[in-house]
Amino acid sequence: MEAVLPVRASSKSWIRDWVLTVDHKKIGIMYGVTSIFFFLVSGLFALLVRTDLLVPSGLFSMQTYNEFFTMHATIMIFSVIIPLLTGAFGNYLVPLMIGARDMAFPRMNALSYWLYLASGIVLILSMFFGMPDAGWTAYPPYSIQSTGPGIDLWVMAIHIAGLSSILGAINFVVTIHKMRAPGMTYNRMPLFVWSMLVTAYMQIFGTPALAGAVTTLLADRHFGTVFYDATAGGDPMLYQHLFWFYSHPAVYIMILPAFGIISEVLPVFARKPIFGYHAIAYSSVAIGFLGFFVWAHHMFVAGMAMSAGIPFMISSLIIAVPTSVKIFNWLATLWRGAVEYTVPMMYASLGFIGSFIIGGFSGVIVAAVPLDMHLHDTYFVVAHIHYVLFGGSVMTIMAGLHYWFPKVTGRMFNERLGHVSFWFYFIGTQVTFFPMHLLGLAGMPRRYATYAPEFQFWNDVATIGSYILGIGTLIIVFNLFYSAKYGKKVGNNPWRARTLEWTVSSPPPAHNFSKLPVVTQNPYQAYTVEELEGTVG
Amino acid sequence: MVAIASWLPTELTQMSHQVDRLFYIMLGIIAFFFVLVEVLLITFLVRYRRSRLNAVGANVHGNNKLELLWTLVPAVVLVFMGVSCVKYVYAMQTPPAKPEVIQVTGHMWAWESQYPNGLKTRDDLRVPAGENVLFKITSTDVVHGFYIPAVRIQQDALPGRQTEFWMKADAADVGKVFDVPCDQYCGLQHSLMDAKMTVMTPADYERWKQSELAKQQQSSGQ
């Protein structure tokens, strides 16, 4: 039976249109705009951190520096990368890609957005009540001793973000399992949907551990409990176990959807089916599963026996296998392709693959217990995580923002400016983060407000790189927001992409599909010369 | 003109020579795959760019033999890396018999060392060259990270727990001074928490311990 959709006159009320909306596309856009705002805030903190490190004695006070790096990481992880990838891309794309009219629980979807916004506001507020200075990891006992309500608000922000995350994840799991269009079997789902399914399960399974960690932290701070008080029989290491049981999988929560975006962008602009659909889909599942068995590789030097690190070293090395399977399949997708150098393709190919593999390889080095004994808590780790989260996640977010921009707005961004921003990003990433490997090898510890003079040269290089990234970011944000209003209008499918969201108008109608699509194959099929006529390239 | 630190620092111990060799082996393997991936990436991007002659990509969906190849080769290489690390872990973990035991205690923000004769020093660590030294590490307040880059080892200093590692400085480095930074974030002056470790001949080390203890007893007796 064909469902009859109520036709609603477009409302002039801004509140009805946005604040009360339960439309997954509008919620996705709100997630996107909000997290881009937080990206600018958190990026500003990063630039201040780098500016402080221009001189060995530090330009700001040490307290200020400690607060800045704490805020940079917390906002970037909880208010930018996770919500951008799952909240913005996931929300906007998953129902469209599986041929559904909305998420399974639209009101709960709106609730997750508003909780996310509340969490970000609480986090920003914490800056004005004694800014948190315990690092984003907030290890006790320091985080318990640190005074002022800043850290309490920080804990509250994490709680609210976690709740938002779990609600969102439940929504994705139910939507993907139950709302797929006729004929959309699991093995016909777009690879982005596969990656979102695995990500959602990881969020549901991992986030409660984080909630447990920060709740007990709060109890130790205010209610006289002794979970982490060694003098009373507590144990600070317990916090680290709970924290990393969430926070290592969180790295995969921040990279799996990115892998999904790459798997969508590469075949479209290589004008070729994706190579190894099943291998890419199932390797995401493998990463999601193995991701819960590696957490203690953050704790090789934290007080466990060195040999207790061996199983975690092995599991961390094994998780590199499904990751390299993906890399080789992406390379094989380019092989014998007809590659178009569009802006999203530049970010996805040279930008993402070219940078992310450095983070993957440095991950193999720090996973090795004997080498981690030297490199742990040095700038080598800072280099590693930024090649994964910036060279990997953020680079891909930029690929995705440019790729789906014409779908969301019905307009095209300025391509010339897009290419300029790409080169700022690509060069800036290498100049900022590569020197950090060298600093780490030389033994410079992380989270240092001041440092020895022999570390100045590479610190200054990194700081210059961060300014290049700052300029690149401003260009991207200007380009996207300006073009959303003034960009050239384009048709429904300017890229000639194959996933279902490109079969509807740009922007898509309120309920996506007036008639549910019937799916007969996966979206990665060969191109013909005729259908590509008139495209760029 | 200040030197620019860009690479691994001095190798102070036999263990650090060995660990660095392991690092270079792993770096070599990684460099090979890194170059392979980057070269393939750039070659494919340039060689298979879209043109009038190359208007669409080939209709290829995958190849099971290739999938098997690039699953098994990384798996074998990674397992090889893991296995070759194991013996170093046990060598680092197992202290030799009858070492000189130095108790290290982290405070906000200084390293206190206590020697077997009861001598205590602050941010002034001394070790005898050619002898096994075992550090027993703890903290009185928050978590610190006891890290000696020249030895390539660190262990966190935790309140209520004891961690340890051992070292044996090469005789060639007598008289040299090395940094002992805190590398686990510990609050305001984290970056200023940095002891100096001096390598001495065993005889000098014994003399220093005695005379320093006598000096301290004298000044506290007054």
Report if residue B6 sits inside a domain: no
Determine the residue of chain B that is closest to A331 in CA distance: B41
Same domain, B66 and B111: no
A532 min Cα distance to partner chain B (Å)? 8
In one letter, which amino acid is B154? Q
Tell me the HSE value of A385 on the side-chain side, using a 13 A CA sphere. Answer: 18
Residues 6+ apart with CB under 8 A from B96: B132, B166, B168
Beta carbons of B89 and A310 less than 8 Å apart: yes
pTM, full prediction = 0.95
Same domain, B160 and B208: yes
A207 min Cα distance to partner chain B (Å)? 24
For chain A, which ranges sit under pLDDT 50? Answer: 1-2, 537
Tell me which residue in B50, B56, B181 faces A445 most closely, judged by beta carbons.
Answer: B181
- Cβ–Cβ contact B128 with A under 8 A: no
Same domain, B89 and B125: no
- Cβ–Cβ contact B4 with A under 8 A: yes
ipTM more than 0.90?
yes
Looking at beta carbons, which residues of chain B come within 8 Å of A231?
Answer: 159-160
Say how far apart CA B32 and CA A313 lie, in whole Å: 22
Is the previous residue joined to B109 through a cis bond, with omega within 30 degrees of 0? yes
Looking at beta carbons, which residues of chain A come within 8 Å of B158?
Answer: 230, 236-237, 302-303
The tokens describing A35, both together, are 């997290």
Within 10 Å of residue A504's Cβ, how many Cβ atoms?
A: 19
Report pLDDT digits (tens) over A250-264.
999 999 999 999 999
Same domain, B177 and B202: yes
Same domain, B116 and B190: yes
Which residues constitute the domain of residue B36? 14-49+62-93
Determine the residue of chain B that is closest to A460 in CA distance: B4
pLDDT reported for residue A10: 56
Beta carbons of B187 and A133 less than 8 Å apart: yes
Which residues 308-337 on chain A approach chain B with CB closer than 8 angstroms?
309-310, 313-314, 317-318, 320-321, 324-325, 327-329, 331-332, 334-337
Mutate to test the interface with B, among A187, A283, A324, A340 (most CBs of B within 10 A): A324
Question: pLDDT-based confidence at B178, cuts 50/70/90?
Answer: very high
The tokens describing B66, both together, are 């290739």
Residues 6+ apart with CB under 8 A from A183: A518, A519, A520
pLDDT reported for residue A531: 84
pLDDT reported for residue A534: 67
pLDDT reported for residue A123: 95
How far, CA to CA in Å, does A239 sit from each of A139, A236, A292?
Answer: 7, 6, 16
Tell me the HSE value of B162 on the side-chain side, using a 13 A CA sphere. Answer: 7
Determine the residue of chain A that is closest to B83 in CA distance: A314
Residue of A395, A259, A389, A250 whose CA lies nearest to A324 = A259
Is residue A125 within 8 A of residue A147, CB to CB? The reply is no
Mutate to test the interface with A, among B70, B146, B166 (most CBs of A within 10 A): B70
- Cβ–Cβ contact B75 with A under 8 A: yes
Helices first, then strands: H and E counts in chain A = 20, 2
Q: Is the pLDDT of residue B121 over 90?
A: yes
Report pLDDT digits (tens) over A374-426.
999 999 999 999 999 999 999 999 999 999 999 999 999 999 999 999 999 99
pLDDT reported for residue A12: 67
Q: How far is CA A27 from the centre of its chain?
A: 18
Determine the residue of chain A that is closest to B15 in CA distance: A370
Helices first, then strands: H and E counts in chain B = 3, 10
Looking at beta carbons, which residues of chain B come within 8 Å of A374?
Answer: 8, 19, 149, 152-154
Looking at beta carbons, which residues of chain B come within 8 Å of A63?
Answer: 188
Same domain, B74 and B120: no
Radius of gyration of chain B (CA): 25
pLDDT reported for residue A1: 43
Beta carbons of B56 and A328 less than 8 Å apart: no
Residues across chain B: 222
Number of domains, chain B: 2
Same domain, B104 and B212: yes
Is residue A97 within 8 A of residue A515, CB to CB? The reply is no
A55 min Cα distance to partner chain B (Å)? 13
Is residue B93 within 8 A of residue B176, CB to CB? The reply is no
Which domains does chain A show, CATH number per domain? 22-511 (1.20.210.10)
A476 min Cα distance to partner chain B (Å)? 24
Phi, psi of A63 (to 5 degrees): -60, -45
Phi, psi of B71 (to 5 degrees): -95, -45
Looking at beta carbons, which residues of chain A come within 8 Å of B191?
Answer: 58, 62, 445, 447-451
Looking at beta carbons, which residues of chain A come within 8 Å of B88?
Answer: 369-370
Residue whose structure tokens are 């995969």: A252
Neighbouring-strand partners of residue B197? B125, B178
Report if residue B199 sits inside a domain: yes
Report if residue B55 sits inside a domain: no
Same domain, B83 and B171: no
Same domain, B212 and B114: yes
* CATH number of B191's domain: 2.60.40.420
Report if residue B18 sits inside a domain: yes
Beta carbons of A370 and B145 less than 8 Å apart: no
Which residues 249-268 on chain A approach chain B with CB closer than 8 angstroms?
none
Beta carbons of B45 and A331 less than 8 Å apart: no
Report if residue B222 sits inside a domain: no
How far, CA to CA in Å, does A434 sit from each of A359, A371, A465, A469, B35?
Answer: 10, 19, 10, 14, 16
Determine the residue of chain A that is closest to B151 in CA distance: A374
- Cβ–Cβ contact B53 with A under 8 A: no
Is residue B93 within 8 A of residue B103, CB to CB? The reply is no
Same domain, B70 and B153: no
Q: Pairing mode, if any, of strands B132-139 and B100-107?
A: parallel
Beta carbons of A331 and B44 less than 8 Å apart: yes
Report pLDDT digits (tens) over B64-92.
999 999 999 999 999 999 999 999 999 99
How far, CA to CA in Å, does B201 sit from each of B114, B208, B212?
Answer: 19, 10, 16
Say how far apart CA A263 and CA B65 lie, in whole Å: 21
Beta carbons of A303 and B9 less than 8 Å apart: no
Beta carbons of A301 and B154 less than 8 Å apart: yes
Same domain, B106 and B212: yes
Mark which of B37, B70, B93 sits at the end of a domain: B93
pLDDT reported for residue B219: 86
Task: Write b or e for each residue in A310-341: b if 16 or more Cβ atoms lie within 10 A of its Cβ, otherwise e.
Answer: bebbbbbbbbbbbbbbbbbbbbbbbbbbbbbb
Mean per-residue pLDDT, B2-17: 91
Residue of A520, A528, A424 whose CA lies nearest to A466 = A424
Say how far apart CA A170 and CA A173 lie, in whole Å: 5
Tell me the HSE value of A189 on the side-chain side, using a 13 A CA sphere. Answer: 26
Phi, psi of B108 (to 5 degrees): -80, 105
pLDDT reported for residue A210: 95
- Residues of chain A by 3-state class (helix, strand, coil), percent to 5: 70, 0, 30
The tokens describing B120, both together, are 């205590």
Determine the residue of chain A that is closest to B136 in CA distance: A303
The overall average pLDDT reported for chain B is 94
Phi, psi of A480 (to 5 degrees): -70, -45
CA dihedral of residues A306, A309, A311, A312 (deg, nearest 10): -170
Mutate to test the interface with A, among B22, B64, B78 (most CBs of A within 10 A): B78
Report if residue B185 sits inside a domain: yes
Report if residue B166 sits inside a domain: yes
Residue of A47, A42, A50 whose CA lies nearest to A439 = A50
Same domain, B87 and B114: no
Is the previous residue joined to A507 through a cis bond, with omega within 30 degrees of 0? yes
Report if residue B150 sits inside a domain: yes
